[in-house]
Amino acid sequence: MHLLNPSLRSAVRCGTSSRSWLALIAAITVSSTAVQAQKVYFESFDSIPLGPNLEEGLAGQTVWSKAGPAGWISDDTGVPGVGTDLDGITEWAGWSFADKNWWVKTAGNQRRAEWAYAQGTVLIADPDEWDDAAHAPGLLNAFITSGPISIPASEENSLVLTLDSSWRPEAFDDGLPDFPVDENNRPINHQNGVLFMRNAEGVETELLNFDSDNTSPNFHRDGVFINEAVVIPLNNAAGATTVSLKFGMLSAANDWWWAVDNVAIGLPPFVSGITNDGVRFAARITEALDRTVDESSISAQLDDQSNIAITVERDETRVWVTHSQEPTVFAPKSKHLVTLRYNTGTGKSVTDSISFTAPGYTSVSSTPTTLRASVAEASWLTLDESKGIQLELDGKAVVTKAVTRVGSVVHADYEQSETFVSGSAHTLKVTFTSITGQVLQETVAFKAPLLAILPEAIATDLGTGSDSGMRWRTHQLATGRGNSVSLVEAQLRGELGESVHTTELQAEDGYFPIDFVNFDQNAGAAGNFKTGADAPQDVADLLIPGIPGTTGSKDDIAGEALTFLELSTVGVYTMVVNSDDGFQVSVGPSSNPTSLVLGKFDGGRGAADSLFYFKVLKPGVYPFRLLWFEGDSDARVEWFTVNADGSRALVGGSQDGSLPAFRQRTEVPVNGIQSITRQADGKIAIAYTGVLKSSTSVTGPFDAVQGATSPIQVIPADSQRFYRVE
């Protein structure tokens, strides 16, 4: 990745700045600026308030939004399953806005990080990520249209549109059952990106057409246009005053992506974008229609610093104006205004401005009782560890437990005796010092992790587990299914077809007896526990029971592990599932084993860890269920816990700290309410043992619910109603 265009072909030096640099730091945002000078419209998308992810695997609080700038309208009616549970990965069911860094990481990069011209919030259509979860059959077709853009009554054919684009295509490789085919059963997908201009009368003109079909005259081939500066003459009519822009992603299956940033319209030459890192910026001026910049006339102002030292360089369409203030670091996430003054080739004087936001350096991770601030160093920032790192949690100074370094990342840890409220929102102010003596402060918002509390009523006494191990059920479909918890539950109920798994070694009850879950479809060395790992994680992977099935396939598998775990101590437990694809861990009585979900990944992914927490108030033996599923390609799953010292132990394994697992219990739970859940139809389901009674007052009197059996479903009718079990 480069902060400057790698095709620069000439340079003029101004001031006394150092030689031009090529580093690009991606954790940066560029904010929209008021229309000035030659530029009549500019949208960097950075004013959009971002919220948390919905279904993607990488959690973030300010990373994604479906809503765009004011006036922008999405049309997702052509997305299969949109508005239902079968809409694929919801974040990508049509055009969306997201933090570029988060998008790169959650998608596994796959060359997305090579998009150097963009930063901050960007506009994305990503059918590759969309297809990672189950969706209705069909090809993705989606549009997004800007609000009306006012343009000055300009000379005919005087305006140009510029945008920074990242395009990676794929075609004719996805067919049944998820995508349509032609009369010869050949795939017809061919990801197609289009852009139209709509005038005040509603007439649309095609401005751009990127096709992945290599026989098309619009073929935009793979690997070349991941980082592209697009300049398009608008061919505007004389006197036109309003236009709008309509972006489309068409005919896409499990293809790649098209993403856009820094959309600008103007009379060239005009400032069309900016990139920056922690000590420098590079603003770019677009030239077009034979209208150029007099390089020698360019001067720059940074905030209130006028005539700063700059370097001017040129590529085929843009003039790059760079400035470095190294070693002084911009304050984390601080906002800055760059004003450029220059003469056009015809002698016209222009003043144009654009703003940017400096990068942040700090991330925060937390458990129910601890948090860690991690400060990432860069080529221009090295921390002075002797000065320590100071923390303020929700405005109150707290004592840092330890400051440690792992490579170029410095961690500051804090631990408290009480648990955070489950899912509660907090801020952490982090103060650190560079080796040049510069004191920097950064405030990061974070949420405490969810912390489930196991219902005491579903436990039996310690020592009541019997027959060590677990019961595992496999179900495999002969055809594709899609990846979601709801589909897999239907599969296990037999609603999607008969199972084609191999039943050898299966018990009469339909379950395989197993000791622990550490499976790989090829019994290879995969995941955290594997042959060759350091002891005690050197546990060989096992074949998935019943796989390959009678058809020889290792795809479209659903698995269920039922066990009783002995939790001998009160406190917080850390549990992890490493899965390819998804999973769900829950607790509950046999009548409702999913009444309390502890952790899940509801979609498709490559093998990855999902970590979650639960709290035990009463030692005992508790019923647990692991649901796991796989669509196609690799298949593997591990189920383990993390000890206080960071070591890992398989559930039911032999490592220190492993939770004892049992196939049976010698007792049933004492009387009590075991779970209360709201159903999709609005009814309340109550699972219990004993005699269920209810009252409209917490103080009673309580009367027996006539004819009630567990689980009972009740329809909320009173303003309040209380239940208890005797």
- Residue 529 to residue 334: CA distance in whole angstroms: 44
Q: Which residues pair with 649 in a beta bridge?
A: 641
Q: Are residues 110 and 230 in the same domain?
A: yes
Q: Tens of pLDDT along 122-144?
A: 999 999 999 988 789 999 999 99
Indicate the residue among 650, 665, 680 that finishes a domain: 665
Q: Are residues 221 and 314 in the same domain?
A: no
Residue 23 DSSP class: -
Query: What is the pLDDT, as a whole number, of residue 718?
Result: 75
Q: Are residues 377 and 432 in the same domain?
A: yes
Mean pLDDT of 543-572: 96
- Residue 94 to residue 626: CA distance in whole angstroms: 32
Q: Tens of pLDDT along 694-725?
A: 888 877 888 888 878 777 888 887 778 888 87
Q: Are residues 27 and 169 in the same domain?
A: no
Q: CATH no. for residue 310? A: 2.60.40
Residue 652 tokens read as 């039911």
Q: Are residues 348 and 483 in the same domain?
A: no
Q: Of 485, 529, 470, nearest to 631 (Cα)?
A: 485
Q: CATH no. for residue 374? A: 2.60.40.1220
Q: Tens of pLDDT along 481-519?
A: 878 899 999 999 999 999 999 999 999 999 999 999 999
Residue 1, pLDDT > 90, answer: no
| Domain extent for 176 | 39-267
Cis peptide before 152 (omega within 30 of 0): no
Q: Tens of pLDDT along 270-285?
A: 999 999 999 999 999 9
Q: Are residues 256 and 136 in the same domain?
A: yes
- Residue 279 to residue 140: CA distance in whole angstroms: 42
3-state helix vs strand vs coil in the chain, percent to 5: 5, 45, 50
Q: Of 364, 332, 338, 232, nearest to 289 (Cα)?
A: 232
One-letter identity of residue 440: L
Q: Are residues 571 and 716 in the same domain?
A: no
Q: Which long-range contacts (CB under 8 A, 24 or more apart) does 48-55 make?
A: 48/97, 48/121, 50/97, 50/98, 50/99, 50/121, 53/91, 53/102, 53/106, 54/90, 54/91, 55/89, 55/90, 55/91, 55/133, 55/602, 55/603
Average pLDDT of the chain, as a whole number: 90
- 33: pLDDT confidence band, cut at 50, 70 and 90? very low
Residue 642, pLDDT > 70, answer: yes
pTM above 0.75, yes or no: yes
Indicate the residue among 360, 390, 412 that finishes a domain: 360
Residue 374, pLDDT > 90, answer: yes
- 219: pLDDT confidence band, cut at 50, 70 and 90? very high
Phi/psi of residue 704, each to 5°? -60, 140
Mean pLDDT of 441-455: 94
Mean pLDDT of 377-400: 96
Give me the residue label for tokens 């095609």: 206
Q: Are residues 86 and 154 in the same domain?
A: yes
Look at residue 112 and give its three-state secondary structure. helix
Residue 25, pLDDT > 70, answer: no
- 27: pLDDT confidence band, cut at 50, 70 and 90? very low
Computed from CA positions of residues 372, 378, 381, 385, in that sequence, does the dihedral angle turn out positive or negative? positive
- Residue 373 to residue 366: CA distance in whole angstroms: 9
Residue 669 DSSP class: P
Q: Which residue has the higher pLDDT, 10 or 358?
A: 358
Q: Tens of pLDDT along 243-264?
A: 999 999 999 999 999 999 999 9
- 381: pLDDT confidence band, cut at 50, 70 and 90? very high
Q: Tens of pLDDT along 139-166?
A: 999 999 999 999 887 788 899 999 999 9
Q: CATH no. for residue 241? A: 2.60.120
Query: What is the pLDDT, as a whole number, of residue 58?
Result: 85
Residue 19, pLDDT > 60, answer: no
Residue 13, pLDDT > 60, answer: no
Looking at the 3D structure of the chain, how many domains does it have?
Answer: 5
Q: Of 447, 449, 397, nearest to 426 (Cα)?
A: 447
Q: Hey, how many other C-beta atoms are within 10 angstroms of the C-beta on 310?
A: 24
Q: In Å, how far are 29, 31, 36, 593 from 353, measured between CA atoms?
A: 16, 11, 7, 60
Indicate the residue among 421, 448, 475 that finishes a domain: 448
- 680: pLDDT confidence band, cut at 50, 70 and 90? low
Q: Which residues pair with 583 in a beta bridge?
A: 601, 628
- Residue 521 to residue 545: CA distance in whole angstroms: 9
Residue 425, pLDDT > 50, answer: yes
Residue 35, pLDDT > 60, answer: no
Mean pLDDT of 670-676: 67
Q: Of 549, 399, 565, 533, nearest to 476 (Cα)?
A: 549
Q: Are residues 490 and 586 in the same domain?
A: yes
Query: What is the pLDDT, as a whole number, of residue 243?
Result: 93
Q: CATH no. for residue 533? A: 2.60.120.1560
Query: What is the pLDDT, as a whole number, of residue 583?
Result: 97
Q: Hey, how many other C-beta atoms are within 10 angstroms of the C-beta on 364?
A: 20
- Residue 142 to residue 128: CA distance in whole angstroms: 14
Q: Which residue has the higher pLDDT, 645 or 29?
A: 645
Q: Are residues 14 and 163 in the same domain?
A: no
Phi/psi of residue 661, each to 5°? -120, 145
Weakest mean pLDDT among 105-119, 153-167, 561-575, 699-713: 699-713
Residue 110 DSSP class: T
- 686: pLDDT confidence band, cut at 50, 70 and 90? confident
Q: Are residues 304 and 406 in the same domain?
A: no
Mean pLDDT of 688-692: 77
Residue 16, pLDDT > 80, answer: no
Q: Residues 6 or more apart from 577 whose CB is under 8 A from it?
A: 583, 585, 599, 601, 609, 610, 626, 628, 637, 638, 639
Q: Are residues 27 and 60 in the same domain?
A: no
